[in-house]
Amino acid sequence: MRMSKKKARKLADEWYKRTLEEIRNGNSIGNQSVDYEFESNNDNDSDDYDYMSDLDNTITEDDEEEEGEDDSTSYSYGMGWPEAISQMYDTTVKYLSEKELRMEAIERMKQIEADRERKMRYAFYKKHWKAITILLLMLVVAGVGALHYYELQKRIEVGVSSDELIGTYYNVTEGILQGNGFTNIQTKCISDLGPSDLDKEGLVSDVAIGGRNSFEKTSRFPYDARIEIIYHNAKSIKVPMSSKEAKKCNYEELLNAFKEAGFISVRIEADYDLATGWLIDAGSVKQVSINGDTSFKESASYRLDAEVIIIYHELTKNKEQSQ
């Protein structure tokens, strides 16, 4: 019966356990016969075996034996079971050591082969480096030429000069360039117009094609060149306080705060909802809205011409006087 290193160790363990059990049962094992032999051969291991069924079976290792080397260990009749087990373990350890040496030799051969191939490649490159360099240069030149030709084929006429686009509405400029075949158009809004410049809102101040903001009608650019259209809107202004804080103010104080912040469209409305004014002071802010938004934080920003409406509490008796 043939077995591998793992099975040989397992067999020794099983035999040892069985021998101990025989001793516990009072059986005599001093003169039991033991005849196990480990031999090296080229056959493959078999997973189907019945160990310990017959103490006279022969156990053979599953490895090649070097020429002229006798690596067998025999256990003869009359040998005590401790000595037999000891020799079996020694044989297994020897097998494992030889296996590791063979694996190391194989890895070393692989490393030697890899080094040899690397040296051959180096020698080839060293011998033909001029031809390789010329070939690479030719490939680079051909690639650059092909790229340049491709870019030339992509170029189309703008159809309108940069001066003609300045001062038009940004959506009109975008439509003209799209109609001429350009596909990569971006718009950029700058909110910086003051009260006196609101008539310039939405008008183009600059157009750049491929990083150039000056071009003629006949200028040619790739159809996918980046185009940036810059236009302007009303300035954004930060609110002086949150809507919650505004309700703690007098309407006149709040009116002045919004005007000082820069809002140009602020108006007040009275809500005649106080009978006596004992619990709520007349003139206190009931609600403030910015473009219809009645809840905003202190960090909020709105256009300077946003409509601000301040509603405040007022005595009912004053309604007739205001009319």
Domain residue limits at 228:
158-234
Q: Give the torsion sign (CA, 152, 155, 160, 164).
A: negative
30 lies in the same domain as 82: yes
Q: Which two tokens stand for residue 303?
A: 């256009």
Look at strands 185-193 and 227-234 and give their pairing.
Answer: parallel
Q: Residue with structure tokens 């000891």?
A: 86
Look at strands 308-315 and 266-274 and give their pairing.
Answer: parallel
Would you state the pLDDT for residue 1? 43
200 lies in the same domain as 275: no
**Which residues 6+ apart lie within 8 Å of 164 measured at CB?**
217
Note whether residue 124 is domain-resident: no
Is there a contact between 285 and 310 (Cβ–Cβ < 8 Å)? Answer: yes
Cα 301 from Cα 205, distance rounded (Å): 24
Note whether residue 182 is domain-resident: yes
Would you state the pLDDT for residue 90? 64
Among left, alpha and beta (phi > 0; psi -120 to 50; other), residue 181 is: left
211 lies in the same domain as 291: no
Is there a contact between 302 and 255 (Cβ–Cβ < 8 Å)? Answer: no
175 lies in the same domain as 206: yes
Quote the pTM value.
0.50
228 lies in the same domain as 290: no
Would you state the pLDDT for residue 95? 63
10 lies in the same domain as 84: yes
230 lies in the same domain as 288: no
Domain harbouring 193, CATH code: 3.30.10.20
Note whether residue 47 is domain-resident: yes
267 lies in the same domain as 208: no
24 lies in the same domain as 55: yes
Polymer length in residues for the chain: 323
Residue 3 burial by Cβ neighbours in a 10 Å radius (0-12, 13-18, 19+)? buried
Q: Which two tokens stand for residue 243?
A: 């809507």
Show which of 234, 253, 282 is a domain's final residue. 234
Note whether residue 315 is domain-resident: yes
Q: What is the pLDDT along the chain (323 residues), one digit of tens a residue?
A: 444 556 656 666 666 666 656 655 655 444 444 444 434 344 444 444 443 444 334 344 344 444 444 444 444 444 455 565 566 666 666 666 666 777 877 888 888 888 888 888 888 888 888 888 898 899 998 888 887 777 767 789 999 999 999 999 999 999 999 999 999 999 999 999 999 999 999 999 999 999 999 999 999 999 999 999 999 999 999 999 999 999 999 999 999 999 999 999 999 999 998 888 788 889 999 999 999 999 999 999 999 999 999 999 999 888 877 65
Give the total number of structural domains in the chain: 3
Note whether residue 136 is domain-resident: no
Of 162, 268, 255, 247, which Cα lies nearest the Cα of 205? 162
Note whether residue 149 is domain-resident: no
Note whether residue 210 is domain-resident: yes
Of 50, 44, 37, 62, which Cα lies nearest the Cα of 10? 50
280 lies in the same domain as 210: no
Show which of 102, 135, 167 is a domain's final residue. 102
Note whether residue 230 is domain-resident: yes
Show which of 83, 102, 121 is a domain's final residue. 102
175 lies in the same domain as 242: no
28 lies in the same domain as 48: yes
